[in-house]
Structure 1
């Protein structure tokens, strides 16, 4: 399930979802957190069931691809650290989630090329758009809670949708392979 990317997408989706739920009060947040946990566990269980036979190749087995993956992610985390430091030093902490969503979205573009997975352009576009919309809400004097709801909820939904799309497309691809005679 992690070789397919579904595990990473589902778990990071939950992280974003938890950020989004911080906009709610106690009873609503509890329900939303439980719902997010159920979606995440559901995606993980479906992926585990679908990919349990272990026939899925490891996309990071190629050393050049693994190196590129590590470079992309290292750069992403460095830029996120710079965003956090910059926002914290200028008093713009409310912009951190929005700008992090943009950075995370942009990191999917080289990943799409590295893994030859055009579907990764989908979360790239959505995360950049969600981050931009949330930043505009902030600059338009929207509440910090609304910014967190928009960026957290939007990012989570885009990652969960991509995880679902991955499961469906990989399942369809596997079912099209003729059985050995």
Structure 2
């Protein structure tokens, strides 16, 4: 079994901090956007407190992500040739996955509009987003992404198959599928971001103890 040197482990931690920081920011931004979808389903119920709460969570997570990236910049910048090639390959594959996701979402929206089934668009997008986490889990070796992807897909299916079109809260009508899907996806992504942050903090503490 290969034993990493101290410098190699520090470099790995640097990339872990940077990657986790970027991941947390992505989860924050897209989680907040999904929360916006949930707010649309509420049709004014809870305004403006629900919106403000979602924005607050998003801002806090962005700050956490930026702090991780900032911390990574203080670490060693020495990268071996093999390490540089690996990082370049990871970056290329990530871009390919991201582009494929965008193209599939665009095609799905066009098809839903063409067949006059626009109400399916949020669920289809959630499934595509969920599926895109599966190759990322393998690419970045982040197991929680598998759970994120599966949960997003399951949530979309549940909103299609089980959730009624509308729910009355007092005298206020809520678009239940839209709200459940929006806030559900937001919580899944925010929880993923929190998991990334906790994971990197625990890893850095473990390495510090070993040194």
TM-score normalized by the length of structure 1: 0.88
- Which runs of no fewer than 5 residues in structure 1 stay unpaired? none
Structure 2 residue aligned with 1:174, among 204, 207, 210?
A: 204
Q: Cα offset for 1:3?
A: 3.1
1:15 matched to which residue of 2?
A: 33
User: In the alignment, is the contact (CA less than 8 A) between 2:43 and 2:175 conserved in 1?
Assistant: no
Q: 1:30 to 1:65 in 2, by over 3 A?
A: same
Instruction: Give the match for residue 42 of structure 2.
Output: 24
**How many aligned positions are there?**
179
TM-score (norm 2): 0.76
Contact 1:50 1:171 survives alignment (8 Å): no
The Cα offsets for residues 83-138 of structure 1, whole Å up to 9 and x where unpaired, read as 10111011110110001000000000000011111111121011101111122247
**Which 4+ stretches in 1 moved above 6 angstroms?**
none
Shift of the 149–62 alpha-carbon distance from structure 1 to 2, 3 Å rule, reads same
Equivalent residue runs for 1:119-134 within 5 Å: 119-134=144-159
Unaligned runs of 5+ in 2: 1-16, 78-82, 167-173
Note if 1:142 corresponds to 2:165. Answer: yes
Distance 1:179 1:12, change over 3 A: same
RMSD after superposition: 2.7
Select the structure of larger CA radius of gyration. Answer: 2
